[in-house]
Chain A
């Protein structure tokens, strides 16, 4: 039987304000060639200078991936001729990248798989081309923006492993705040190298699969490609080393016609850029910005805080939810209860209102207050949803909403007792039924009390009082 080997090459757009080597804005969506200058267009005599923030983010990712961090990293020129770059080379890192020899843990079906990282290097992205008729139109807004490439060793085995890797990696870069992780828009891109071979024979001849713009496509393309290579070898033929494109409409990979000649990028040290040596201040900032990673967080939520798997998975999907959760817990609330609020009502209402958590006016203090109002019996659980809605819509504290709306539940026992007696006195038939064993009818009496109280009684308390009064 065959075994498969998958390695990934992931490119992420770093969330820097400016490009990697010049002061052009790195923002997307501007009219063509708005963010261009002599440096990113490679005019003769210009001098690129590396973006400090891009460098920090690169070291952060390398650190998070447990790499050996370079004490002196170099930039190299990767030479190629294609009009998506005006310079005829890309500034990249080849001999001494930011990080090497790391690893990243990924959970697949409840098991942790450790994937070795070959290297992490900073480079620049290319421009965009539109081909129409006899001309090609060039837009260099994206040319020179910071792109971080992460190369894994071929330690992944199945398409499912690769999908899990991408998802975990995406969560990680989002938690670090270095990339928005949007695969559809191309801010996280993935190419996959895959080969199969008879067991014990090591790596086979690999193909490279491109055009994978979702984690699901990564899995599907690799599953297809592993089967395809199996069929090729099964027929006694050889796998051709080539680049193949994933065709998501037909669920197949297809050979991308390329020039026969192997690439020779003639890397050499970029003479315009001195090597970079991180100093102590730089490194301590990098270390401090590498926050707890999502997988570690998830395990802490599950094992330390006893959250449900669903709640833990929901929270770690978004750093902002994690932060809000942890801040609210720090105010003394019950972790489980808070997590339930967040993945239940808070998430649901934000979705319905189409509001992002950051714009929602929900703060740890407010969430804590809301949970406490319900806990202490001041606010009915049912009414709490309405309060939350108003917190989001009107930027008010829950207690203020409760006061304004008159949502406080009646806590006064004598008043509750009065309504309970009234309900019993006015509904002898119902009482008879209950005493005859039809205990469900008690909800009718609870309803009566709720009516007397204009909805301000706590139904649970009322039920208890009714049961007591009727000797149940």
Chain B
């Protein structure tokens, strides 16, 4: 992986990479391993997206009785009344 590719990927993931050159090297090794896997013929096989998927997991459309809103608001770094508060992002 070249450094520019890594920088773009990091940017998409909102990650700050202190030493891109070094990491790019490590990523390249990882990608080499992937390319070995990619070489395997999987024609006609369904991709394994979930190792433990056993049937549907559905939820009935019934409201949960408990109110957890105060608890989650209290855990916010900053709140204003009932709002979560962050620096202006507009």
A, B from the same assembly = yes
The chain A residues found within 8 Å of chain B, CB to CB, are 16-18, 21-25, 31-38, 41, 43, 49-55, 74, 79, 81-83, 88, 129-140, 264, 266, 269, 271, 273-277, 279
Q: Assuming A136-B90, A138-B83, A274-B53, is B61 touching A24 (CB within 8 A)?
A: no
Q: Which residues of B contact A55 (CB under 8 A)?
A: 58
Residue pair A274, B86 in contact (C-beta under 8 Å): no
User: How many cross-chain pairs have Cβ atoms below 8 Å apart between A and B?
Assistant: 121
> Measured between C-beta atoms, what is the minimum distance from B8 to chain A in Å?
9
A18-B59 Cα distance, complex, nearest whole Å: 10
Residue pair A136, B61 in contact (C-beta under 8 Å): no
Residue pair A264, B12 in contact (C-beta under 8 Å): yes
Q: Interface-forming stretch among B17-25, B28-36, B37-45, B62-70?
A: B62-70
Task: Please name the residue on chain B nearest to A37 by beta carbon.
Answer: B68
> Measured between C-beta atoms, what is the minimum distance from B3 to chain A in Å?
18
Q: Which residues of A contact B54 (CB under 8 A)?
A: 274
Q: Which 3 A-B pairs have the closest CB atoms?
A: A23-B64, A53-B61, A274-B53
A81-B67 Cα distance, complex, nearest whole Å: 27
Q: Assuming A41-B72, A269-B49, A274-B50, is B61 touching A52 (CB within 8 A)?
A: yes
Residue pair A137, B80 in contact (C-beta under 8 Å): yes
Interface of A is mostly: loop
Quick one: which of A49, A81, A131, A266 contacts B59, CB cutoff 8 A? A49
> Measured between C-beta atoms, what is the minimum distance from B66 to chain A in Å?
8
> Measured between C-beta atoms, what is the minimum distance from A256 to chain B in Å?
13
Q: Other CB < 8 Å A-B pairs besides A138-B84, A274-B56, A279-B56, 18 of them?
A: A18-B61, A21-B59, A49-B59, A79-B13, A88-B14, A129-B89, A131-B88, A131-B89, A134-B88, A135-B80, A135-B88, A136-B88, A137-B83, A139-B82, A139-B84, A269-B49, A273-B57, A277-B56
Q: Which residues of A contact B73 (CB under 8 A)?
A: 33
> Measured between C-beta atoms, what is the minimum distance from B33 to chain A in Å?
19
Quick one: which of A23, A134, A276 contacts B56, CB cutoff 8 A? A276
Q: Which residues of A contact B56 (CB under 8 A)?
A: 274, 276-277, 279
A81-B10 Cα distance, complex, nearest whole Å: 13
Task: Please name the residue on chain B nearest to A275 by beta carbon.
Answer: B53
Residue pair A275, B49 in contact (C-beta under 8 Å): yes
Task: Please name the residue on chain B nearest to A57 by beta carbon.
Answer: B61
Q: Assuming A52-B60, A54-B61, is B84 touching A137 (CB within 8 A)?
A: yes
Q: Which residues of A contact B13 (CB under 8 A)?
A: 79
Q: Which residues of A contact B82 (CB under 8 A)?
A: 31-34, 139
> Measured between C-beta atoms, what is the minimum distance from A144 to chain B in Å?
12
Residue pair A275, B50 in contact (C-beta under 8 Å): yes
> Measured between C-beta atoms, what is the minimum distance from A87 to chain B in Å?
13
Residue pair A83, B89 in contact (C-beta under 8 Å): yes
Can you report 26 residue pairs joining A to B where beta carbons are below 8 Å apart? A18-B64, A23-B59, A24-B63, A31-B82, A33-B73, A34-B69, A51-B58, A52-B59, A52-B60, A53-B60, A53-B61, A55-B58, A79-B13, A129-B89, A135-B80, A136-B86, A136-B89, A137-B80, A137-B83, A140-B84, A264-B12, A269-B49, A271-B50, A275-B50, A275-B53, A276-B56
> Measured between C-beta atoms, what is the minimum distance from A2 to chain B in Å?
37
A49-B80 Cα distance, complex, nearest whole Å: 30
Residue pair B69, A134 in contact (C-beta under 8 Å): no
Residue pair A266, B12 in contact (C-beta under 8 Å): yes
Task: Please name the residue on chain A nearest to B63 by beta carbon.
Answer: A25
A345-B57 Cα distance, complex, nearest whole Å: 50
Residue pair A33, B49 in contact (C-beta under 8 Å): no
Task: Please name the residue on chain B nearest to A131 by beta carbon.
Answer: B90
Q: Assuming A18-B61, A50-B57, is B86 touching A135 (CB within 8 A)?
A: yes
A33-B80 Cα distance, complex, nearest whole Å: 11
Q: Which residues of B contact A50 (CB under 8 A)?
A: 57-59
Quick one: which of A36, A82, A133, A276 contacts B72, CB cutoff 8 A? A36
Task: Please name the residue on chain A nearest to B73 by beta carbon.
Answer: A33
> Measured between C-beta atoms, what is the minimum distance from A156 to chain B in Å?
33
Q: Assuming A41-B72, A275-B49, is B86 touching A138 (CB within 8 A)?
A: yes
A37-B85 Cα distance, complex, nearest whole Å: 17
A133-B73 Cα distance, complex, nearest whole Å: 22
Quick one: which of A16, A35, A138 contacts B69, CB cutoff 8 A? A35
